Amino acid sequence: MSDERTLDLLEAKIAELRTLDEIDGMNLGGEIARLETRLEDLRRELYSNLSDWERVRIARHPKRPYALDYVDEILDGFYELHGDRIAGDDRALIAGLARLDGRRVVVLAQQKGRSTEENKERFFGMTRPQGYRKGLRAMAMAERFGFPLLTLIDTPGAYPGLESEELNIGGAIAESLLAMSRLRVPIVSVVIGEGGSGGALAIGVADRVLMLENAVYSVISPEGAAAILWKDKERTREAAAALQLTAAHLEELGLIDGVIPEPLGGAQKDFPRTAAALKDELVGHLDELAARPIDELVRGRYERYRNVGRYRPRTDSDE
Amino acid sequence: MAIFKERQYLRVDVEKERDESLWMKCKSCDELVFKRRVRENNNICPNCGEYFFLTAAERIESLVDEGSFVDDAEPIAADDPLVFVDSRPYAERIEDAQQKTGLADAVVLGRATIGGAPIVIAAMDFRFVGGSMGSVVGEQICRGIEAAVEDERPFVLISSSGGARLQEGLFSLLQMAKTAAARQRLADAGIPFISVMTYPTTGGVQASIASLGDVIIAERGAMIGFAGRRVIENTIAQELPAHFQTDAFAFEHGLVDRVAKREDLRDELATLLGFFVEAA
């Protein structure tokens, strides 16, 4: 998206003119309005027909709002909880207690880093076994006190590495899937950026699964699919399209429950508006779920996952 | 393979075998070995002890009481929900795998006994798109679990899978949640679940149903783990020990209860099942 730089320049120019207009009292209103119209046109041109691969790039955009941005904006009194009580604290998966418009919730959120320093600490948002086991603790607490669970998903995937394997990251993900499938409180999960495979699903078994408009959710990254299935690392565009990993595709396939709209160009273009839209959805879904008997909710969640999949009877003509 | 006689598609395999030469070269010791001896020896090289792949049918035959296996699972096949095409169409891959293996998909499911104990057994077949778990494998595992609950028999799962079936996109990822959720049905009913991890048990299968057994047994020579060596080396360029993700590594780090030699696996299961079945 090299044209993004043009947009950035134009935005900077408008801001500059505004400052001049306000501070120096120069009469630049007409010029500003002209540039703003031009900016809108460019935006629409650039963003209205995004390919699936371009959505992947927006989902990974370095300026995209991350989980803690939403936590700060939407929730009140976030009280972070640390550590899995065994091996350490994972900074890529944060857990805590918070209020959503007065409703008490337990939050699990995958957090990427902004700076190199922060990314070192947060392993580029890749969750480690310590994170999933901290998540299990948080889930157990949510159930114990009857607080709904809210999870925000944004990870390239579970962290691949020697220590992860030594601490049985696969086993930790499996335990998390099982725990969420039977947890006796309402669960809402939102993919806010990258939904990277098992590392994302591990905190994404829910009564309602939502996605931001430009978020992606996939069994494998387009790069991984290109390398394995096309044997050509360059063919990420084709892989992204074939995987049907965008919110729109997944809603059409019936695999998610809702898509939260973003401003043209992505959530970072108007963060308060995106956050407000997300908050509305969360409140709506949580209230709806809280009104239902918990047995019915857990049964419904079980059926939802039990019935997922597409297959057909095997007939004699297959053989 | 007398126990499979009534299934036409498995005969194809036998016919094919006849067309190939009587000898094979062991990839481990380079020795030319007599194929029939290898087969009679649980697909273990009679010269150096290297394990060769077992098909799902061979695996089941090697574990259950002779003639006890009944494949009464309703056959279902992949439906290509994304109409997926990579270097070739998924539908074609499926057709080829079906032709090659005589199977509907990467799992064989049925009832049997081991040491007299009635069980439901599901075995994955690595020849079928790497034993990968898509909608069919996920569904058959769940049906196996439900049959085990219905009949009050232990559920035995033999994994041999590289992970999720990539060509089914998110449908295949969600099979992890589906099978993990179904596992609770066994626990609720007090039915034991024995998970046997063989070469390989990795990715989405290791990170879901295979890791949720009451008892987990690794076959000697298994590969067990989530992210493979190449992924780790490519992503974070970390140096890995030689025994990384081997059965010994899994045992050392507490991922599995026990490691069993292929030739001992049947007795191991019989002993374990005997304990649970008597206690029940």
Q: Is the dihedral of CA A78, A118, A127, A276 positive or negative?
A: positive
Q: What is the rounded radius of gyration, in angstroms, for the C-alpha atoms of chain B?
A: 18
**Residue spans of beta strands (DSSP E) within chain A:** 76-81, 93-100, 103-110, 149-155, 187-196, 208-212, 216-218, 258-260, 311-313
Could you tell me if A197 lies within 8 Å of chain B, comparing CB atoms? yes
Mean pLDDT of A149-171: 97
pLDDT in the model for residue A75: 98
Which tokens in the block code for residue A235? Answer: 């063919």
Q: Residue ranges per domain, chain B? A: 1-52, 54-279
Distance CA B169, CA A245 (A): 8
Quote the pLDDT of residue A298: 98
Alpha carbon A276 to its chain's center: 16
Reported as a single tens digit per residue, the pLDDT across A294-312 is: 999 999 999 999 999 999 9
What's the rounded mean pLDDT across residues A83-87?
96
pLDDT at A138: 98
Chain A with chain B: Cβ pairs closer than 8 A: 203
Average pLDDT, chain B: 90
Residue A207 is predicted with a pLDDT of 98
Write down the pLDDT at residue B23.
84
Interacting residues of A2 by C-beta distance below 8 A, sequence separation 6+: none
**Contact list, A242 vs chain B (CB under 8 Å):** 82, 84-86
Is 90 exceeded by the pLDDT of residue B44?
no
Strand duo A187-196 + A216-218: pairing? parallel
At residue B9, the pLDDT reads: 36
Lowest mean pLDDT among B6-15, B42-51, B147-156: B6-15
Higher pLDDT, A33 or B84: B84
- What is the percentage of chain B residues whose pLDDT exceeds 90? 74
Minimal Cβ distance to A178: which of B138, B183, B254: B183
How far, in Å, CA of B164 to CA of B124, rounded? 13
CB of A209 within 8 A of CB of B170? no
Whether pLDDT at B111 is above 60 = yes
Q: What confidence tier does B264 reach under pLDDT thresholds 50, 70, 90?
A: very high
pLDDT of residue B261 exceeding 90, the answer is: yes
Question: Quick one: average pLDDT of B98-127?
Answer: 97
* Burial tier of B106 (Cβ tally within 10 Å: 0-12, 13-18, 19+): buried
Token pair belonging to A272: 């308060």
Residue that the structure tokens 């799962």 belong to: B157
Please state the rounded mean pLDDT for residues B238-255: 95
Mutate to test the interface with A, among B103, B141, B173 (most CBs of A within 10 A): B173
| Cα-Cα-Cα-Cα dihedral sign, residues B150, B151, B152, B154 | negative
Q: How far apart are CA A90 and CA A173, in angstroms?
A: 14
Average pLDDT value for residue range A214-238: 95
Nearest by CB: B253 against A166, A245, A250: A166
pLDDT in tens, A244-262: 999 999 999 999 999 999 9
pLDDT of B204 reads 98
Amino acid at B61: E
Other C-beta atoms closer than 10 Å to the C-beta of B184 total 16
B114 and B266 Cβ atoms separated by less than 8 Å: yes
What is the structure's pLDDT at B26? 82
Phi then psi for A100, rounded to 5 degrees?
-115, 105
Q: Enter the tokens of residue B83.
A: 């109409």
> Do the Cβ atoms of B173 and A197 come within 8 Å?
yes
DSSP-derived secondary structure for A86-123 = SS---SSEEEEEEEETTEEEEEEEE---SSHHHHHHHG
Is the CB of A90 inside 8 Å of chain B's CB atoms?
no
* CA–CA dist A148, A107 (Å, integer): 9
Report d(CA A113, CA A162) in Å as an integer. 22
- Is residue A57 within 8 Å of residue A47, measured between CB atoms? no
Determine whether the interchain pair A312/B87 forms a contact, defined as Cβ–Cβ distance below 8 Å.
no
Instruction: Give me the pLDDT at residue B20, please.
Output: 57
Query: Quick one: B49 exposed, middle or buried, by C-beta within 10 A (0-12, 13-18, 19+)?
Result: middle
Taking 60 as the threshold, does the pLDDT of residue A318 lie above it?
A: no
Distance from CA of A249 to the nearest CA of B (A): 10
Q: Looking at the predicted structure, is the pLDDT value of residue B21 above 90?
A: no
Is A250 within 8 Å of chain B by CB? yes
Give the sign of the dihedral formed by CA B62, CA B147, CA A295, CA A292: positive
CB B32 within 8 A of CB B48: no
pLDDT of B4 over the 50 cut: no
pLDDT, residue B255, reads 98
- Chain B residue with minimum CA distance to A123: B236
Comparing A39-48, A219-228, B197-206, which segment has the lowest mean pLDDT? Answer: A39-48
CA dist A119 and A54 (Å) reads: 23
- Residues B146-177 pLDDT 10s: 999 999 999 999 999 999 999 999 999 999 99
Compute the distance between CA of residue A129 and CA of residue A88 in angstroms, rounded to an integer.
9
Cα–Cα distance, A264 to B196 (Å, whole number): 50
Residues of B in contact with A177 (CB under 8 A): 176-177, 180-181, 208
- Closest of A228, A170, A307 to residue B171, by C-alpha: A307
Give A-chain residues touching B159 at CB under 8 angstroms: none
Q: Does the CB of A86 have a partner CB in chain B at under 8 Å?
A: no
Mark yes or no for CB contact B253/A310 under 8 Å. Answer: no
pLDDT band of residue A317 (cuts 50, 70, 90) is: low
Q: What is the mean pLDDT of residues B222-234?
A: 90
| CATH number assigned to the domain with residue range B54-279, chosen from the 4 options 3.30.70.20, 3.90.340.10, 3.90.226.10, 2.60.40.10 | 3.90.226.10
| Integer CA distances (angstroms), A122 to A94, A116, A119, B213, in order | 10, 10, 5, 32
* Residue A66 dihedral angles phi and psi, to the nearest 5°: -100, 175
The residues near B50 (Cβ < 8 Å, ≥ 6 apart) are B26, B27, B28, B29, B44, B221
Where does the pLDDT of residue B3 fall: very low under 50, low under 70, confident under 90, or very high at 90 and above? very low
Complex-level ipTM beyond the 0.95 threshold: no
Mutate to test the interface with A, among B11, B82, B83, B86 (most CBs of A within 10 A): B86
As a whole number, mean pLDDT of residues A45-73 equals: 94
Over 70: is that where the pLDDT of B1 sits? Answer: no
Are B218 and B254 in contact by the 8 Å Cβ rule? The answer is no
Task: For A111-153, write each residue's pLDDT tens digit.
Answer: 999 999 999 999 999 999 999 999 999 999 999 999 999 999 9
Q: What percent of chain B has pLDDT over 70?
A: 91
Q: What is the mean pLDDT of residues A38-51?
A: 85
> Measured between CA atoms, how close is B207 to chain A, in angstroms?
4
Largest CA distance in chain A: 83
Let me know how long chain B is. Answer: 280
Pair of tokens at residue A243: 């995987």
Q: Is A207 on the interface with B (CB under 8 A)?
A: no
